[in-house]
Structure 1
Amino acid sequence: MEKSLVSIITPSFNCEKFIAKTILSVQNQTYKNWEMIIVDDCSSDETVSIIKEISSQDNRIQLFLLDVNSGTGIARNTALEKATGKYIAFLDADDLWKPLKLELQIDFLKKHNLPFTFSFYECINEAGESLNRRIESPRNLSYRQLFFCNYVGNLTGIYEVNYFGKIPISPIRKRQDWVHWLTILKKIKTAQPVPESLAFYRIRENSISASKYELLKHNFAVYRTFHRFNLVVSILCMTGFLFTQLIIKPRYVKSLI
């Protein structure tokens, strides 16, 4: 039986140091029926040249170029418009998948009759070295839990188009992935992860993930902009968010040492 097509959404911008390895991690998947749709957001380095060279030898990789620098949201939505797969998956241009990632997740979706799943993942630094940290999540993640903490790594989420349709990426500048998963959980109420690490998330210098202040600022913007809460309610939500980060989430961050 032919396996269902998976569309992989990848925005790129000045990632010449990482993009070849990111694409290789997709090419090394044991699940072979995929299309990788890369939308470049006006890179000024050799990113586009590298992608063109690789895609010339693998027609599953498609490259599209934005005319003006527009941000990851526009790039992801452009890729989403081009997607033709039954499943939508996400992989940023500096992250990596383990070889069994797609196969295990698609099997998990089918076995449990689910429209959405994700997985645990590990953190690496800019040089690709392990930070000896695995990010896990509750085994039955509820909307309320996700509301106060984004347990779903963007590089791990997969959803079925026949169930949800193509879900547009939020126009907010940052934390688009969190908003995406909240939109999904609001409909299905709970989600189950594949309970093992299937990907590597790269933490780069000066990234939002590396800056606690920037992370808090953009999370607050989600409560104000996406949920449209007033200032007082947003502050109360941030109090719950901070409590989760300091008291609850640490039990889901596992040391690999």
Structure 2
Amino acid sequence: MQDDLVSIITPVYQAEKYLAHTIESVQAQDYKNWEMLLVDDCSPDQSAQIIKAYQAEDARIKYLKLDTNSGAAVARNRGLEVAQGRYIAFVDSDDYWTSDKLAKQLAFMKAEAYGFTYTNFAQVDEEGQVLKDRADLPQHLDYDGLLKNTAIACSTVMIDRHLVGDFRMPLVRKGQDTATWLMLMRERGCQAYLLDEVLNHYRQVPGSISSNRLGALKRTWHTYRVLEGLPLWKASYVFISYALNAIKRRI
């Protein structure tokens, strides 16, 4: 691993509408020592051509392609396999960062010796108009806290692999990001710490996985009962807390 290199991982599927904006928000970072691993999940649109055009002008941008459409977990794991950086960050192909995101988050982690951090974020619509300017997020989360408040947006996460260790995401089609944070906390005793600044814009796109609230409820219940193996009483308790906190964040 290269000590100060940040490896940014982006799964790509039907992303042509927003992908250029996402890539350019990474290129605009004040912190320049990064690589962006864009993993094409057999996208049928023009995403591959868009990535390759940016790659031709910027060697830090790297195009990877899966052999078959396999979902975001497999795509992110492919990026994790080839990532050269000590630090891992994620950005989804329809989200975008402020230009100081990497610099501020790295400084925060180094100053406090944190291995796992997340930031605040704004919710925006398809055109980038702000729907909510920040989220109500806890200052830090351990395993039990995250079960009751799945408040960590994937595009805000940064992980120091020297402190946390190497990792892969569980092979589930949906909700693999939260399942990963829970796994790291349960197996490695990690806690996640909030940098309470809005450094990411989380795009609400109709029809996307993240916009489907009923699907999110089902996915979270599946995580509790199947992936985490919680007994029914505990799964019910934390699920109610999760639902209340999710409602609170949208008020």
Equivalence for 1:220 = 221
Q: Which residue identity lines up with residue 32 of structure 1 in the other structure?
A: K
- In structure 2, C-alpha distance between the alignment counterparts of 1:33 and 1:234, rounded to whole Å: 46
Please give the residue correspondences for 1:18-29 in structure 2 after superposition, counting only pairs within 5 Å: 18-29=18-29
- In structure 2, C-alpha distance between the alignment counterparts of 1:250 and 1:217, rounded to whole Å: 15
Equivalence for 2:202 = 201
- In structure 2, C-alpha distance between the alignment counterparts of 1:26 and 1:235, rounded to whole Å: 43
- In structure 2, C-alpha distance between the alignment counterparts of 1:234 and 1:174, rounded to whole Å: 21
Structure 1 residue runs of 5 or longer lacking an equivalent are none
Equivalence for 1:164 = 164
When the two structures are superposed, what TM-score results if normalisation uses the length of structure 1? Answer: 0.91
Q: Deviations over 1:40-75 (max 9, x none)?
A: 011111111011001100000000111211111111
Q: Deviations over 1:161-213 (max 9, x none)?
A: 11222210111121111011112323335322111111001111112332221
Q: Which residue identity lines up with residue 206 of structure 1 in the other structure?
A: G
- In structure 1, C-alpha distance between the alignment counterparts of 2:136 and 2:167, rounded to whole Å: 25
In the superposition, relative to structure 1, how do residues 218 and 60 fare at CA in structure 2: closer, same or farther (>3 Å)? same
- In structure 2, C-alpha distance between the alignment counterparts of 1:49 and 1:75, rounded to whole Å: 18
Range with bigger deviation, 121-130 or 16-25: 121-130
When the two structures are superposed, what TM-score results if normalisation uses the length of structure 2? Answer: 0.93
Of the three residues 219, 235, 241, the one matched with 1:237 is 235
Task: Report percent identity of matched pairs.
Answer: 37
Which 4+ runs in 1 deviate beyond 6 A? Answer: none
SS at match of 2:195: strand
SS at match of 2:224: helix
- In structure 2, C-alpha distance between the alignment counterparts of 1:203 and 1:117, rounded to whole Å: 23
Does 1:134 find its partner at 2:99? no
Structure 1 residue 254, shift from structure 2 partner: 7.7
Q: Which residue identity lines up with residue 243 of structure 1 in the other structure?
A: S
Equivalence for 1:99 = 99
How large is the RMSD of aligned CA atoms in angstroms?
Answer: 1.9
Equivalence for 2:84 = 84
Equivalence for 1:12 = 12
Q: Which residue identity lines up with residue 243 of structure 2 in the other structure?
A: Q
- Number of positions where the alignment pairs a residue of Structure 1 with one of Structure 2: 249
In the superposition, relative to structure 1, how do residues 105 and 94 fare at CA in structure 2: closer, same or farther (>3 Å)? same
